[in-house]
Chains A and B, each alone.
Chain A
Amino acid sequence: DTEVTQTPKHLVMGMTNKKSLKCEQHMGHRAMYWYKQKAKKPPELMFVYSYEKLSINESVPSRFSPECPNSSLLNLHLHALQPEDSALYLCASSQDPFRDTEAFFGQGTRLTVV
C-alpha cells in the first residue's frame, strides 16, 4: 500500500470561512509534508512534520495552520484565506525524514477561494 489519501478532492470557500484539509497514510512513514502548487508551477513546500513534530515551516502565512494529530494523519486548517491562495494542495509522506527516500503524494485538494 503506497497510498496517501487526501480529502476533500475539491473545496470552494469564502474569505471568511474556516475549513480543513485532511491527509492520511498507513505506510508507517514518519515524515509528512504539505505542498502548494499553482498552475504551470512546481510544487512548493509549505510544512514538514518529522515524527509528528513541526520541523520546517517555509515562512507560510498564519492563515494556514498545520496539525499532526498522530503518525498517520496530517491536517491543514484554513482561515481567512485570500483568492490568491487558490491552488492545488498536495500532501506527501516519506519513510524517514533523515534519509533520502522517495516521497509519495496524494491526489491533492483543489482549493478555490472566492
Chain B
Amino acid sequence: DQQVKQNSPSLSVQEGRISILNCDYTNSMFDYFLWYKKYPAEGPTFLISISSIKDKNEDGRFTVFLNKSAKHLSLHIVPSQPGDSAVYFCAASGDYTGTASKLTFGTGTRLQVTL
C-alpha cells in the first residue's frame, strides 16, 4: 500500500526553465511534507518542507505547494540548473504510530536538466 506516490518516474527540463515535480498522498493523518534530493549511492539531502497549516513555502529557487483537499503537493524549481539533476523524493509524516513520528517516502522522480 503506497501511501505517498510520485506518478512521474522521470522528467526532463531545459536549463533555465521551470521544473515541476508532483506528489500525491492518501493518508489524511499526514500533516508535514518534505522534499529530498538524492544522488546515486548517497543519502537523501533535505530541500524544503511544508506544514499542513500552510499552502506554500519558498526557499530560494525552490517552492513547495500543498493542496490538502486534493492530497497533492508539488515542488517547483525555478530556474532549473544542470546541478539539479538527481532523484527527488517527497516524504510525509504525522501518522504517529508507536511513540515516534516516521517519514514515508514516495517512489521518486528522476529529474534531468539539459543544456
A interface with B by C-beta (< 8 Å):
4, 6, 31, 33, 40-45, 48, 50, 55-56, 88, 90, 92, 94, 97-100, 102-108, 110
Contact = CB atoms under 8 A, between A and B. Distances in A.
B43 A55 contact: no
Interface residues of B, number: 28
B44 A105 contact: yes
5 contacts: A50-B100, A56-B100, A105-B46, A107-B43, A108-B43
B89 A100 contact: no
A56 B102 CA distance: 9
B100 A102 contact: no
Nearest to A42: B105
B112 to A, nearest CB: 15
Interface stretch (B11-19, B68-76, B78-86, B91-99): B91-99
A10 to B, nearest CB: 9
